[in-house]
Structure 1
Amino acid sequence: MGKHLTVILLLFLGVSLLANAEGFVVHPDDLGDEARLWSLYLRWLHSFNVSRTEDEMRKRFHVFVENVRFIEEFNKKGSSFELQLNAFGDLTNKEFLLLYAGFKPDPNATNNVTEVFEHGTDQFVPKSVDWRARGAVTRVKDQLKCGSCWAFAVVAAIEGLNMIKTGRLVSLSEQELVDCNPYAKGCHGGDRRMAIYFASRIGGLTAETNYPYRGYQSTCQTNRLKDIAAKVRGLGLVSQNNEYALMQAAARQPITVSVDATTWQFYHKGVFKGPCGLGLNHGVTIVGYGTTVEGTKYWLVKNSWGTGWGENGYIRMLRDVSPEGLCGIAMIPAFPV
């Protein structure tokens, strides 16, 4: 290890306990020079329990610095939402998406639809819905370094439907979908709609306790699939490119959607307003919607990047912006039946 880096590491170790006690905070002085930035990077590695070799540290330090400066500059401008340095701090955006976004559209996804939810003007729609408050949402989970967002999005929707139908909230198995769904590629991506269809073909999903998540694809444990904890009858679709229809559907049950999450890496809090496009690359679950006290309409979305990201694992996204919705949220909504 170089002399310069060694000195910084020794200084860092001397204050590591204090840093942990205070929590991870970036101060303006941290950006003053390279020595302070190295100290900040080492403190970040320690705070988020990230392991890097010396060579990796030297390579990733420059990525880390670019990310820190981007976050600080963005927050200075003022917006409806804030960014924050998190566990993805020394990843490029391309690396981040490769590891944590995994929606891969399947051309056969609409071949086996059981139900289509159409827009209905005569239907009563509540002004706000939060399925968490109704006991239909399990804890925020972490997909780890696996492109299995599609599985987590589907499981969250099935968990919600199961609670609505039976009154029991059961945490279900994402690993079952990662290992056993023949219509996906495990950690290399999949289509939410085909995952729902697969779940309906086998009758439903087993509990997470029966088939725990590993964060990588393995051989399907077929003996565990017999113990169904939540039934699924079929695949439902919401009429595309219609945010009002999506709101009506979300008032009935949690809905899985695909979005362009390219700019989500450091989202921290507030109503996200973009920028983002319509290149769908990530699967999430709408678990409600509402309006801020300032009058801003939003979707309440459950993600699968752990509670250290966003608003304890959730993101609020601007609602009623276009037929496709912000980041394409209304383009291909789906739900379990």
Structure 2
Amino acid sequence: MASYGRVYQDPSEKDKRFQIFKENVEYIESHNAGHTGKKYNLGVNEFTDLTNEEFKSMRNGYKMQRSTHVASSKTSSFRYENVPAVPSSMDWRSKGAVTNIKDQGQCGCCWAFSAVAAMEGITKLKTGNLVSLSEQELVDCDINGEDEGCSGGLMDDAFEFIITNKGLTTESIYPYQGVDGTCNKKAAANHAAQITGYEDVPSNSESALLKAVANQPVSVAIDAGGADFQHYKSGVFTGECGTSLDRGVTAVGYGEDDDGTKYWLVKNSWGTSWGEDGYIQMQRDIDAEEGLCGIAMEASYPTA
């Protein structure tokens, strides 16, 4: 409670949370003792007083439905299709193309954070400047299509809005509030960065995703609903997870760990207490074509 500023409304709520916390800690300790045979570690974080159902309903918000979705600024081409070779590892953080970890709080707008991180990356690559852009502008102003602020949305729709809007303003001009608000048109008029379009990575192909991530940070959707995801702390995450995509995150690199396990480096928006200071390494090159947790199913990136 002290670590994460938890305040409960009454003793019964506190007792309930303590019971949930104890059960989660038992699960974490059992996992880390090697009873599951998995090499990644779990740990206590700010979500350890939540049931898995509560965690899923509060913290995700990606709408899985792009197959029926026709957008207008999307090109059907994949610009990295004929890239002959990619580096054996990539970390866009080391190239100054990734802003600090952000925290969406209890607003289900992961889609906005994913889209913004990908846009921040391409903006750095095109202009040389890394600028923290405004998720709140998307939450408040991008409300006429599938995107519904804290109630969920899609990265492609966010890109669509940014193109139509002719840009996005900075985090400092339009700061994050973590709740649905009214569009501040005055703040939103200060465009700090633009994109010209966006493309979808060919679906269910980790090799296509690899080509894209070798060239820029990429928005990806994953199934992040599992208990191991909730309590993930470190190491290469190998699942349990399905392909019911419920979370937008950003692939900002890839590599291979000391024992040869290949991974994607993924930026999340749950603050720095979760995972490896806000990041997760997710196993790459698995047998399933959709990738671990569906990471290769609905990836896309902005162009500038």
> Normalised by the size of structure 2, how large is the TM-score?
0.93
Q: Distance in 2 between matches of 1:295 and 1:48?
A: 35
> Which of residues 65, 74, 80 in structure 1 aligns to 2:31?
74
- CA shift, 1:55, in A, is 2.2
- CA shift, 1:235, in A, is 2.2
Do the aligned partners of 1:204 and 1:233 also contact (CA within 8 Å) in 2?
A: no
Do the aligned partners of 1:119 and 1:239 also contact (CA within 8 Å) in 2?
A: no
Do the aligned partners of 2:71 and 2:160 also contact (CA within 8 Å) in 1?
A: no
Partner secondary structure for residue 117 of structure 1: coil
- CA shift, 1:136, in A, is 0.2
Partner secondary structure for residue 205 of structure 1: coil
> Which of residues 136, 147, 150 in structure 2 aligns to 1:187?
150
Q: Distance in 2 between matches of 1:234 and 1:137?
A: 20
Match for 2:32: what amino acid? N
Which residue in 1 is equivalent to 2:5?
49
- CA shift, 1:118, in A, is 6.5
Give identity over the alignment, percent: 49
Do the aligned partners of 1:160 and 1:254 also contact (CA within 8 Å) in 2?
A: yes
Q: Distance in 1 between matches of 2:151 and 2:128?
A: 34
Partner secondary structure for residue 265 of structure 2: strand
- CA shift, 1:122, in A, is 5.4
Q: 1:122 to 1:259 in 2, by over 3 A?
A: closer
Which residue in 1 is equivalent to 2:230?
265
Q: Distance in 2 between matches of 1:193 and 1:106?
A: 11
**Range moving further from structure 2, 97-106 or 79-88:** 97-106
Q: Higher helix fraction: Structure 1 or Structure 2?
A: 1
Number of residue equivalences = 293
Does 1:312 pair with 2:272?
Answer: no
Q: Distance in 1 between matches of 2:266 and 2:237?
A: 11
Does 1:327 pair with 2:283?
Answer: no
Which residue in 2 is equivalent to 1:146?
107
Unaligned runs of at least 5 residues, structure 2: none
Q: Distance in 1 between matches of 2:116 and 2:211?
A: 21
> Which of residues 62, 70, 87 in structure 1 aligns to 2:46?
87
Q: Which has the higher contact order (CA 8 A, sep 6+)?
A: 2
Which residue in 2 is equivalent to 1:159?
120
- CA shift, 1:120, in A, is 3.5
Does 1:211 pair with 2:174?
Answer: yes
- CA shift, 1:197, in A, is 0.9
Do the aligned partners of 2:241 and 2:293 also contact (CA within 8 Å) in 1?
A: yes
- CA shift, 1:119, in A, is 6.8
Which residue in 2 is equivalent to 1:34?
none
- CA shift, 1:63, in A, is 1.2
Match for 1:161: what amino acid? I
Do the aligned partners of 1:205 and 1:229 also contact (CA within 8 Å) in 2?
A: yes
Partner secondary structure for residue 240 of structure 2: coil
> Normalised by the size of structure 1, how large is the TM-score?
0.84
Give the 5 Å matches for 1:1-337.
45-53=1-9, 54-77=11-34, 78-107=37-66, 109-112=69-72, 113-117=74-78, 120=81, 123-182=84-143, 183=145, 184-263=147-226, 264-321=229-286, 322-337=288-303
RMSD: 1.3
**Range moving further from structure 2, 50-59 or 153-162:** 50-59
Partner secondary structure for residue 177 of structure 2: coil
- CA shift, 1:233, in A, is 1.2
Q: 1:106 to 1:176 in 2, by over 3 A?
A: farther
Q: Distance in 1 between matches of 2:234 and 2:83?
A: 35
Match for 2:118: what amino acid? A
Match for 2:253: what amino acid? G
**Range moving further from structure 2, 326-335 or 109-118:** 109-118
Match for 2:123: what amino acid? N
Unaligned runs of at least 5 residues, structure 1: 1-44
Q: Distance in 2 between matches of 1:83 and 1:318?
A: 16
